[in-house]
Amino acid sequence: MSHHIVEVKDLHYTYPGETRKALSGVSFRILHGEAVGIVGANGAGKSTLLRHLNGYWAPREGSVRIGDYPVTPRTVKQVRRTVGMVFQDPDDQLFMPTVFDDVAFGPLNLGFSPEEVALRVTRALETVGAAHLAERPPHRLSGGEKRAVAVATVLSMTPDILVLDEPTSNLDPRARRKVIELLHGFVHTRIVATHDLDMVLALCPRTIVMREGRVEADGPTLDIFNDAELLDRCHLEKPFSMQACPVCSRATLPARQP
Amino acid sequence: MKGVESGLLDFSRLEMLAAGDSPVHRLDPRTKVLVTAAFLVFVVLHGKYDLAGLAPLALYPVAAMALSGLPAGYILGKLLLASPFVLLVGVWNPVLDRGILVTVGGLPISGGWISFASIVVRFALTLSAALILIATTGFDQVCRGLSRLYAPKAFVLQLLLLYRYIFVLAGEAARMVRAFRLRNLSDERPAMRTYAALLGSLLVRALDRAQRIHMAMLSRGFDGEIRMSRPMRLRLADAAWAAFWIAFFILVRRYDIPGLLGQIVIAH
């Protein structure tokens, strides 16, 4: 099966009015059903890369292939159907007056019948455990609920590939745990850009590390998180769950003055 | 800041009211939009000195309020809140228009005062009708009704997004003002310049957000068409409601009801 593959080849991008390249020669290939974490410091190029994956920007230099289609203005519709993008701030993602309308927005644009749309909305909301929120306005939801609904808005379009930008930011620990469990249960190809390295560890067997618009490392998550020198160079730190227990290692902290 | 936050609370009140149930709530949004629009047109049609002709029209907001069980105090409070704007609009009328129009009990009343009163009454009628529409229908349903009535798509979309993001934007403004207050320890009122800077950065943030929302819409197949699939059904009650009120408005327009009533009273 080739249609769930994401292939980026020598991708470059410079923001208008800037001289420094936001992306300079990014290449990788993500296969069907893989879960990949994309990590890196602020400004390493993660968000710029994500915007290329659903055709918001067509590549000017280099190429992006989603399944059988190269991303070009002609194929953008098909690409957006294949790639479901969950944005960092759910307030940006949820723009309709009620949760139902929001989850129905994608399928309606795809031209499904009202019955089919209702079915898809119910199914997507049930998947994320938010069926009871259907009639609520999005601005009344809690952070965790908003995040779940944001994922549902994309699921209702039945994409093959999910791209998530910081899915666990601004969530309380339990809501974060729930989002991770939800994503863990999916069979889609998943690409997760984040600073939450513990989530990457829990969710993604493979990690791509970005630094200054380039792919600095690409490999098994455990190998990467054990490479202290690499992490330091990229402004990252070992996930908490791989560090020594904070209680036991308290002796290593500088003693406090009374 | 307090103003912004209590303004938000008020939106929730309107939403709560709209979630209620009554014969008026159950009407199709299209019916209510149409009747409200007709009402506004008929109110505006009245001449500037025609205060008496306006009076019967008050039946509509009063009846709608009574049938829907909306708290009258709430609507009146809103009217008071918005009244300074109208007073500002009408305040020059008594000064500019001094011609004596009627004499009531030996007291001469100038055309200016009458047209001023007519502006205030028209304002009270139109605003309360609009509030009743939203408080019995819900803003999103009003938009749905508008789009089904073939209002321009761009207009409906603007309204929908405005309603959705006014909360987000007001929240952002409140946070900025709070951050500013916490660092402004003097009691002096902040300079105009400071407000200009706050407003400017609010605008920039709003533009950024608009771009992100657009991106989110595009990535879910947005093509300029706003599709909202919800079945809407016109029932007999809708036809009756619309027919009754529009007939009543026309009647009020054609016949001088207060005058007729007066004649009847005098004749007896």
Q: What pLDDT is attached to residue A247?
A: 64
Residue A126 pLDDT greater than 80, yes or no: yes
> How many A/B residue pairs have CB atoms within 8 Å?
78
Q: Is B164 in contact with A96 (Cβ distance < 8 A)?
A: yes
User: What count of other Cβ atoms lies within 10 Å of the Cβ of residue A89?
Assistant: 18
**A216 within 8 A of A232, measured Cβ to Cβ:** no
Q: Which of A15, A51, A53, A95 to mutate to test the interface with B (most CBs of B within 10 A)?
A: A95
What's the DSSP call for residue B27?
Answer: S
Place of tokens 């970005």: A210
Indicate yes or no: CB of A56 within 8 angstroms of CB of B215.
yes
pLDDT at residue number B225: 79
pLDDT band of A161, cuts 50, 70, 90: very high
Contact predicate A207/A231, CB 8 Å: no
Q: Which residue has the higher pLDDT, B96 or A224?
A: A224
Rounded-to-integer distance, Cα B248 and Cα B175, Å: 49
Distances (CA, A) of B2 to B8, B72, B171, B181: 10, 25, 11, 12
For an interface test with B, which of A85, A105, A146 has the most B Cβ atoms less than 10 Å from its Cβ?
A: A105
Residue B258 CA to residue B56 CA, distance in Å, equals: 7
Best of B220, B222, B228 to disrupt the A interface by mutation (most A CBs within 10 Å)?
B220
Per cent of chain A over pLDDT 70 is 93
Strand partners, A37: A192, A207
From the centroid of its chain, how far is CA B80? Answer: 13
Kindly report the three-state secondary structure assignment for every residue of chain A.
CCCCCEEEEEEEECCCCCCCCCEEEEEEEECCCCEEEEEECCCCCHHHHHHHHCCCCCCCEEEEEECCEECCCCCHHHHHHHEEEECCCHHHHCCCCCHHHHHHHHHHHCCCCHHHHHHHHHHHHHHCCCHHHCCCCHHHCCHHHHHHHHHHHHHCCCCCEEEEECCCCCCCHHHHHHHHHHHHCCCCEEEEECCCHHHHHHHCCEEEEEECCEEEEEEEHHHHHCCHHHHHHCCCCCCHHHCCCCCHHHHHCCCCCC
- Identity of the residue in B143, B163, B220 whose CB atom sits nearest the CB atom of A105: B220
**Residue A213 one-letter amino acid:** G
Which pLDDT value is given to residue B2? 47
**Is there a contact between B50 and B253 (Cβ–Cβ < 8 Å)?**
no
Report CA Rg, chain B. 23
Contacts of A69 (CB under 8 A, 6+ apart): A75, A78, A79, A82
Q: How far apart are CA B51 and CA B114, in angstroms?
A: 7
Q: Which residues contact A192 (CB under 8 A, 6 or more apart)?
A: A35, A36, A37, A38, A164, A167, A183, A199, A200, A203, A204
Q: Cα distance from A195 to chain B (closest Cα, Å)?
A: 20
Q: Residue A194 and residue A225: Cα distance in Å, rounded?
A: 14
Rounded CA-CA distance A218/A230 in Å is 11
Mean pLDDT over A139-145 rounds to 89
The third-level CATH classification (topology) of the domain covering A6-92+162-175+182-252 is Rossmann fold (3.40.50)
Among A89, A91, A98, whose Cβ lies nearest the Cβ of B140? A98
**Is the pLDDT at A199 greater than 90, yes or no?**
yes
Residue A250: burial class (beta carbons within 10 Å; 0-12, 13-18, 19+): exposed
- Give the mean pLDDT per block of 10 residues along chain B (268 residues): 53 80 90 94 83 86 91 87 84 79 76 86 91 89 87 87 85 86 73 84 90 90 78 86 92 80 76
Judged by CB atoms closer than 8 Å, whether chains meet at A108 and B217 is answered as no
Contact B209 A117 (CB under 8 A): no
Asked whether the beta carbons of residue A97 and residue B212 sit closer than 8 angstroms, the reply is: no
- Residues in A touching B156 (Cβ below 8 Å): none
Alpha helices in chain B (DSSP H): 2-18, 23-26, 29-45, 51-54, 59-68, 72-90, 93-96, 111-137, 139-148, 153-183, 192-218, 236-254, 257-267
C-alpha B158, offset from chain centre = 17
DSSP letter assigned to residue B191? P
Measured between CA atoms, the residue of chain A closest to residue B140 is A97
| Nearest neighbour of A109 by CB, restricted to B140, B160, B223 | B223
- pLDDT value, residue A216: 94
Structure tokens at A170: 């601004």
User: Which H or E run contains B110?
Assistant: strand B107-110
pLDDT-derived band of residue A258, with 50, 70 and 90 as boundaries? low
Q: With 0.90 as the threshold, say if the pTM is over it.
A: no
Give the number of other CB atoms < 10 A from CB of residue A65: 18
- Contact predicate B49/B95, CB 8 Å: no
Residue spans of the domains in chain A: they are 6-92+162-175+182-252
Asked whether the beta carbons of A204 and A36 are under 8 A apart, the reply is yes
Least Cα separation, residue B145 to chain A (angstroms): 14
SS3 B107: strand
Q: Which residue of B has its CA nearest to A109?
A: B221
pLDDT in tens, A6-47: 999 999 999 988 888 899 999 999 999 999 999 999 989 998
Burial of A13 (0-12, 13-18, 19+ CB in 10 A): buried
Stretch among A58-72, A108-122, A185-199, B254-268 having the lowest mean pLDDT: B254-268
Chain A residue at shortest CA distance from B144:
A97
Residue of A36, A47, A140 whose CA lies nearest to A87: A47
Q: Is the ipTM of this complex over 0.85?
A: no
On whether any CB of chain A is under 8 Å from the CB of B224, the answer is no
The predicted pLDDT at position A1 comes to 47
CB–CB of B250/B39 below 8 Å?
no
- pLDDT score at B184: 76
Q: Do B140 and A87 touch (CB under 8 A)?
A: no
**CB–CB of A122/A102 below 8 Å?**
no
Taking CB atoms and an 8 Å cutoff, what residues of chain B touch A84? 219
Residues in chain B within 8 Å Cβ distance of A87: 212, 215-216
- Residues in B touching A98 (Cβ below 8 Å): 140
